[in-house]
Amino acid sequence: MSNIRVTAFKWVPPFAQGLVRDLRVRWALEEAGLPYAEKLLGAGEQNSPEHRAVQPFGQVPVYEEDGLTLFESGAIVLHVGERCPTLLPQDPAKRARARTWVLAALNSIEPHILNFTALDVFYANEEWARLRRPGAEKMAQARLDQLTQALGTRDYLEGEFTAGDLVMTTVLRFLRNTELVKNRPALAAYQARCEARPAFQRALAAQVGHFAKHAPPVAA
């Protein structure tokens, strides 16, 4: 039996399926070949005192192993990466660069991507959101252009797949219902290349499988 346990949701609405951040942790564990157990939260359980004790913000994932409890998906991916030379290379310089790209994905790219996508997902009918959308899209476009330039002609951000690519790919997935990545062929090919990895496919199947299993009944 695995000593690792990952907390995730039993079900989320379709717009969020395949995007919840436990996907990053599952993917990292799959890349590392580390088995894990799951704790699945039902509706509202993320706000329970028990869950808040291990995740102060009521989010997922939570990672537990041998008395160690971690939250924040980026921190968990880096922790898992310590045991996986694919994610964090043994060469010190390459290792540092991989960490840099993890933080870039979370700090330089993701906030602008989520700022843009939230306008369509959560505030589509709000007048202020309609007015804000062009500026948010322009900033997201600029970040994607900068990322595309940094990638250049390489298959991965540092030439070989690392934790930086793992986290970056999960950020780009938030744009799946837009043309922003699709309109950048090199970036679209990069994302597809990362998502074609067997470890990603196993992680995604594990997450969405629970969503299908625990989907609420359809009203007649």
Q: What is the CATH number of the domain that holds 207?
A: 3.40.30.10
- The structure's pTM equals 0.96
The answer to whether position 71 is within a domain reads: yes
| Dihedral of the alpha carbons of 67, 71, 77, 79, in degrees to the nearest 10 | -40
Domain, as residue range, for 46: 4-85+199-213
- pLDDT tens figures, 71-125: 999 999 999 999 999 999 999 999 999 999 999 999 999 999 999 999 998 998 8
- pLDDT tens figures, 198-215: 999 999 999 999 999 999
Is the bond preceding residue 185 a cis peptide, omega within 30 degrees? no
Do residue 10 and residue 25 come from a single domain?
Answer: yes
Report the phi/psi class of residue 126: left, alpha or beta, with left for phi > 0 and alpha for psi in -120 to 50: beta
User: CATH code at 111?
Assistant: 1.20.1050.10
